[in-house]
């Protein structure tokens, strides 16, 4: 996290133009720690973090060799240590030669390389220390802690209404609508039209509801086999499949109408999201490949493109960068749930990674994808010019997510898996709020 903080600070320093306040190195005009302005404070914060992080990188390398860690761990930390002075030298040259895009890009690329090496070293160290130990993430009585809003709603007319609401998977709506909202904020800033926001988010709610309903219908037989889903409305015949299907079609039609009122590209992307989640993910990927979680992340990333297209009428690079953050975050997020309900997914016949590859490999991949998510968050900042609020959020909440991912390796039980799952939600939710605030308010 020290290296990641340095990476984010460097991007923020460059984006805010703070680097122009000090074009000498290591001191600023012969003065040390002179912070007469906010820009100078940012510059010195970056350089101080670089010095402190260097100590941490050296310490990690020394410990890896003294403790006799595996060859790949030692290779990874040694590579990080070897790259570090090169990255510092490029940074120093960049500071004294402002305006060079190639130098700035090289400086960022080296920082990403150091961070990636340390993420690999961490994942491999945790795997060596805990991969052979027994796991219990799926043991004990499981809660209905999914995406469809809770347990059986009871009886009566109001209960029937609640059952239909449950078909729409309301717990997914807030996050996916926030993704679309972030896409709109990045594209339009303070110039967003109220009508565009209302139609886009309204269409998003309806399309998510349609996708969730189709998922309930198509997976009803598998849902009956899983404790986490066996009380779903279609699985229990509270709502007949035919009625649920009709309900889903109405929601889909209404969502496409709302999107089309914005523009045709938004409607096309909305239709793609519904079809991808309902057909490609639910029917093709999820029952047949352990990579369904990774590829299925495209369904969650499409709202970013929908939000961007709603404002601009096209698919832009920044919209794709936001979508990439969601895509890479999805495995780091969902693998925790897959660990907590491994026995359920196995009974349902879903070949998810914990079922076919084991818990240790799944925990290791959570760290991999978390690292990739954090890097993609920096790339998004570079492409969009997001500021200090976003930078602070990705560092602070990224550290929290990483902390719980490490605890999952140490504890290997259901509570640890669910803590990591909720930490991933908190990271993305706060990051998206920061995107909106940085783009529209700050």
- 182 in a structural domain: yes
Maximum CA extent, the chain: 78
Identify the domain containing residue 375 by its residue range.
157-440
Q: What is the 3-state secondary structure (H, E, C) of 239-259?
A: CCHHHHHHHHHHHHHHHHHHH
CA distance 88 to 90: 5
Is 146 inside a domain boundary? no
Q: Is residue 149 part of a domain?
A: no
Domain assignment present for residue 210? The answer is yes
Q: Is 359 left (phi over 0), alpha (psi -120 to 50) or beta?
A: alpha
Cβ(251)–Cβ(271) under 8 Å? no
> Cα 436 vs. chain centroid, distance in angstroms?
16
C-beta of residue 6 within 8 angstroms of C-beta of residue 49: yes
**What was the pLDDT predicted at 151?**
56
Nearest-10 Cα torsion for 37, 43, 45, 49: -170
| pLDDT computed for residue 34 by the predictor | 73
Give domain status of residue 291, yes or no.
yes
Q: Are residues 403 and 272 in the same domain?
A: yes
Instruction: At 213, list the tokens.
Output: 């309903």
With respect to residue 143, please indicate whether it lies within any of the assigned structural domains: no
Is residue 150 a part of any domain in this protein? no
Query: Does one domain contain both 104 and 236?
Result: no
pLDDT at position 16 is 60
Residue 387's closest CA among 186, 110, 190, 181?
A: 186
Same domain, 277 and 339: yes
Please tell me whether residue 441 adopts helix, strand or coil conformation. coil
Instruction: Please tell me whether residues 122 and 182 are part of one structural domain.
Output: no
Point out the domain boundary residue: 95, 130, 165.
Answer: 130
122 and 175 together in one domain: no
Cα–Cα separations (whole angstroms), residue 410 to 112, 340, 405 = 27, 15, 9
Tell me which of 130, 149, 165 is where a domain ends: 130
Domain co-membership, 103 together with 185:
no
Name the token pair of 205: 């709610």
- Give pLDDT, residue 324: 96
| CA 368 – CA 362 distance, rounded (Å) | 10
Does 265 map to a domain?
Answer: yes
**DSSP-assigned states of every residue in 261-300:** HH-HHHHHHHHHHHHIIIIIIIIIITTT-TTHHHHHHHHH
Same domain, 263 and 370: yes
Return the bridge partners of 413, or none: 136
My answer on whether 316 and 263 are in the same domain is yes
In a shared domain, residues 272 and 186: yes
What is the C-alpha to C-alpha distance for residues 251 and 370, in angstroms, rounded to an integer? Answer: 34
The CATH number linked to 393 is 1.10.357.140
- Residue 95: what pLDDT? 76
Alpha carbon 241 to chain centroid, angstroms = 33
The CA distance from 28 to 20, in Å, is 11
Judgement on whether residues 184 and 65 belong to the same structural domain of the protein:
no
Q: What pLDDT is stored for residue 11 in this prediction?
A: 74
Instruction: Please tell me the distance from the alpha carbon of residue 237 to that of residue 370, in angstroms, as a whole number.
Output: 39
Q: What is the pLDDT of residue 9?
A: 79
* Alpha-carbon gap, residue 60 to 400, rounded angstroms: 20
Residue 83 and residue 170 share a domain: no
| Same domain flag for 67 and 171 | no
Number of domains in the chain: 2
Could you list the pLDDT tens digit for every one of the 442 residues in the chain? 999 988 887 776 665 666 677 777 888 877 787 777 777 777 788 888 889 999 999 999 999 999 999 999 999 999 999 999 998 888 888 777 766 667 778 888 899 999 999 999 999 999 999 999 988 888 765 555 556 665 555 667 888 899 999 999 988 888 899 999 999 999 988 788 899 999 999 999 999 999 999 999 999 999 898 888 888 999 999 999 999 999 999 999 999 999 999 999 999 999 999 999 999 999 999 999 989 999 999 999 999 999 999 999 999 999 999 999 999 999 999 999 999 999 989 988 999 999 999 999 999 999 999 999 999 999 999 888 888 889 899 999 999 999 999 999 999 999 999 999 999 999 999 999 999 998 887 5
């Amino acid at each position: 996290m020290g290296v990641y903080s340095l990476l984010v600070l460097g991007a923020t320093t460059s984006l805010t133009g703070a680097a122009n306040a000090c074009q000498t190195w290591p001191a600023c005009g012969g003065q040390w720690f002179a912070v007469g302005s906010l820009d100078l404070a940012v510059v010195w914060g970056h350089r101080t973090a670089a010095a402190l992080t260097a100590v941490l990188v050296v310490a990690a390398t020394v410990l890896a060799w003294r403790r006799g860690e595996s060859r790949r761990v030692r290779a990874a930390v040694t590579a990080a240590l070897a790259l570090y002075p090169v990255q510092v030298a490029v940074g120093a040259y960049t500071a004294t030669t402002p305006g060079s895009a190639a130098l700035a890009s090289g400086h960022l690329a080296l920082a990403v390389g150091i961070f990636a090496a340390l993420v690999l070293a961490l994942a491999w160290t945790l795997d060596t220390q805990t991969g052979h130990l027994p796991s219990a993430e799926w043991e004990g009585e499981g809660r209905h802690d999914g995406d469809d809003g809770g347990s059986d709603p009871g009886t009566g007319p109001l209960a029937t209404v609640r059952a239909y609401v449950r078909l729409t998977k309301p717990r997914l709506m807030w996050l996916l609508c926030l993704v679309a909202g972030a896409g709109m904020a990045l594209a339009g800033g303070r110039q967003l039209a109220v009508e565009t926001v209302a139609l886009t988010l309204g269409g998003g709610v309806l399309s998510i509801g349609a996708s969730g309903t189709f998922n309930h219908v198509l997976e009803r037989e598998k849902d009956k086999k899983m404790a986490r889903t066996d009380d779903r409305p279609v699985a229990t015949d509270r709502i007949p499949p035919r009625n649920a299907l009709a309900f889903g079609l109405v929601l889909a039609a209404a969502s496409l109408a709302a999107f089309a009122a914005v523009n045709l590209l938004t409607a096309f992307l909305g239709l793609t999201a519904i079809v991808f989640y309902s057909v490609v993910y639910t029917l093709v990927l999820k029952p047949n490949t352990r990579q369904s979680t990774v590829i299925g992340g495209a369904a969650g990333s499409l709202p970013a493109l929908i939000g961007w297209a709603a404002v601009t009428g096209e698919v832009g690079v920044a919209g794709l960068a936001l979508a990439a953050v969601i895509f890479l975050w999805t495995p780091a997020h969902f693998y925790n749930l897959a660990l907590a309900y491994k026995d359920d997914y196995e009974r349902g016949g879903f070949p998810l990674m914990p079922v076919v590859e084991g818990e240790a490999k799944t925990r290791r991949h959570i760290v991999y994808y978390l690292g990739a998510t954090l890097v993609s968050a920096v790339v998004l900042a570079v492409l969009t010019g997001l500021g200090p609020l976003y930078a602070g959020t990705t560092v602070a909440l990224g550290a929290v997510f990483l902390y719980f991912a490490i605890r999952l390796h140490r504890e290997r039980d259901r509570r640890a898996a669910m803590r990591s799952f909720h930490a991933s939600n908190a990271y993305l939710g706060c990051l998206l709020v920061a995107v909106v605030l940085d783009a529209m308010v700050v």
